[in-house]
Chains A and B, each alone.
Chain A
Amino acid sequence: MSSNCTPASLRAQKAKRIVKEIYVYIILLAVVTVLSLLKGDLFQRGNFLFPPNIANLLRMSAPILMISSAFTLIFITGNIDLSVGSTLSLTTVVHAILVLNGFPFALSLVIVVALGVLLGSVNGFLVMKLRITPVIATLITMNAYQGLARYLVPPGISSITTTDTLKMPEWMGHFSKDQVFMGLSWAFIVAIVLLIALVILQKRTLFGKYLVAVGGNRTAAELSGINVVKVVWGVYILLGAISALAGVARASYLLIGEPYTGVGAETEAIIACLLGGTVFTGGEGSVVKSFVGAIIIVCLTFGLKSVIPEYWQLLAKGAVLVFAVVLNHLLSKEAIAA
């Protein structure tokens, strides 16, 4: 409030702002510290912080890192896309089918990303042109894309993989498994490049300013001449394309086209964005912090998997989401009060 202008309250406000800036890093530090004190079965040499272990973790996490960074943008515009997980599933399957049928990597990549653009623009069309509420529209496409992913896997088998007549080429795993730099994979490097590109897009371009304007006050944005339909539609397309890229990375990591691989990815992306302090009603968010939020989730998922039975995963995930909601709520409330 404007009445709070005493030096003490100003100092308190400044402290709160600093907390808001750095808390996601503190959580990451805390999670890593706790995990490094545990002795897990899956950790190489029984130590979480063993470098090859971390490198493996990051290689594995490229898809969710890509999706979470891009998801921030849709949150900033005040919309949501629940279909990212299904897009991931569908593009994983399509990439595997193409590669299995002899398509070279580059061609398959182009086709799959084009598919992602198409899937994203369908979302954008439903939300912006037909004006179906984002949650409902993307729930519909979530089911449609997931259904397609399953449909593309022939009956009787559970995933796209080497058959009697067709063999998955050896280079399938190169994108996500090859250790090109300090144990990291191409897919992870692409995720980093993408992160940098998205940060530039958000901070240094007019498009980034438009996103915030649309999310902050849509009517005001429209009145000041921003083409809201185009902006939000563009973000849906971008998110679709990046989810498709994530699908390529996931297929390359799994070496098969698994139609269920994206189930729950939207929840993970939402958790990552909330942990990163993105305001879900729009107008505020940081791509970098969502990226860090995604790393937290990956650490937790992988770390917990090696210390407690698999069936605890879902409960843990839900608890983390609720924790993120509470944290997000408390910090944004402080921002309003300050």
Chain B
Amino acid sequence: MNKPIKALNARSATGKISNEAFLNRVMFLVLIVLFALASIFIDKYFSTATALNLIANNWYIVILGIGVTFLLVSGHLDMSVGGIVGMAGVLSAYFTQPANEGFSELGQGLGLPYGVAILLTLLVCLFIGMLNALFIAKMRVASIIVTLGTMSIARGIGQVAALGAQRSAGLPDLFGVIGNVPLFGPIKIAAAIAAILVVIALFIEKKTSFGRRTYLIGANREAARLSGVKVELHIGLLYMLSALLAGITGILLASEMKAGISTRGAGFEFNALVVTLLGGASIDGGVGSVLGMVIGALILGVVSSAAYGLLLRPEWQFILKAVVTFLAIIAQRYLLDRRNK
């Protein structure tokens, strides 16, 4: 249980950079190499458009990755984020749809202003996060079991609210704004929101005691408790944060499509976990970083777009993701073992 706490500063007394900084550099190198390889083997891959598309197509996984990274650092999993994305999309549409001028049941909503609808949606997401917090932090049930359940509950709420289909009729124009206003090229406002969230997350991770406590809990929960950290509250807050971020993602994605689709976000929980693991986080807790996760998301983006460019069948995406994750885990462990010998 008592594993040594890794050096938290960028440089330890011996003058070596920390394991975290080391891994981030290695993974950044991997990203460059993969991008170069893809540019060599795929015609017209090397372009500004490709680079911009990498950002435009992966921002949502970065937002989800923030919450999942913090949780993984504290030694917990969150499989409910994909379900929450689906639920938040449907609910934001349902709350906004006109109250009594719909043609069918699926066009009937609550007719609330969009701002209120967003707030209400996020509240429901927080409720799912509270369920996670209650069962995992308070009752100490294994996080994988609980979040598999809340994943079903969240997506289930989405399906019930969308009557098993999707809600798109009668949505006001405002609904489609935040997901669609272009900044430059393919990059839209949603990607900028993701960037802002990443900056805030980096600040929390590096500069606040909340961030550092998360690492302490992951490295040694008992030591954290004994040194006065309110462990249960902290983990609960992390789950609510993760649910909130997933809710934001769901609202943005629904706005992008101008529809609340209950199946949206299927498998996102695995993607978010993959990018976090690619970024060097470990489920054993205490290790991982938001910056690494962002690099991981870009790596996954390069791999996915390269697979598409090589005209592989879409089924390959699943197998590729699995293989990449496996290789990343093994390689990172090998590197760290050699380094810390």
Contact = CB atoms under 8 A, between A and B. Distances in A.
Interface stretch (A14-22, A128-136, A183-191, A202-210): A128-136
Contacts of A130: 330
Contact of A325 (B135, B277, B319): B135
Given A280-B145, A314-B159, A144 B151 contact: no
Contact of A310 (B77, B149, B164, B318): B164
Contacts of A82: 144
B164 A151 contact: no
A181 interface: no
Contact of B148 (A126, A270, A316, A328): A270
B240 to A, nearest CB: 17
Interface stretch (B117-125, B198-206, B321-329): B321-329
B322 A140 contact: yes
Nearest to B320: A147
Contacts of B150: 318, 322
Contacts of B325: 136, 140
A48 B316 CA distance: 43
A186 to B, nearest CB: 32
B323 A312 contact: no
B64 to A, nearest CB: 15
A309 interface: yes
Interface in A228-285: 266-267, 270, 274, 280-281
Main secondary structure of the interface of A (DSSP, over half): helix
Contacts of B164: 309-311
A90 B148 CA distance: 22
Contacts, number: 115
Contacts of B135: 322, 325-326
A151 B316 contact: yes
A325 B289 CA distance: 31
Given A140-B326, A144-B319, A316-B156, A135 B144 contact: yes
A326 B139 CA distance: 9
Contact of B139 (A281, A312, A315, A329): A329
Given A143-B318, A270-B145, A317 B152 contact: yes
Interface in B153-183: 153-157, 159-160, 162-164
A297 B249 CA distance: 32
Q: Which of A146, A151, A267, A315 is most buried by chain B, counting CB atoms within 10 A of its CB?
A: A315
A321 interface: yes
A130 B321 CA distance: 19
Interface string B306-336: 0000000101111101110110011000000
Interface string B15-28: 00000000000000
Name the 8 nearest CB pairs between A and B, nearest first. Answer: A315-B156, A147-B318, A318-B152, A311-B164, A318-B153, A321-B149, A144-B322, A314-B156
Interface of B: 77, 131, 135, 139, 141-142, 144-146, 148-157, 159-160, 162-164, 262, 270, 273, 277, 283-284, 313, 315-319, 321-323, 325-326, 329-330
Interface of A: 80, 82, 126, 130, 132-133, 135-136, 139-141, 143-144, 146-148, 150-151, 155, 266-267, 270, 274, 280-281, 309-319, 321-322, 325-326, 328-329
Given A148-B319, A311-B159, A325-B145, 17 more contacts: A80-B144, A135-B77, A140-B326, A141-B322, A151-B316, A267-B149, A267-B152, A309-B163, A309-B164, A311-B160, A312-B156, A314-B156, A315-B152, A317-B156, A318-B154, A321-B148, A321-B152
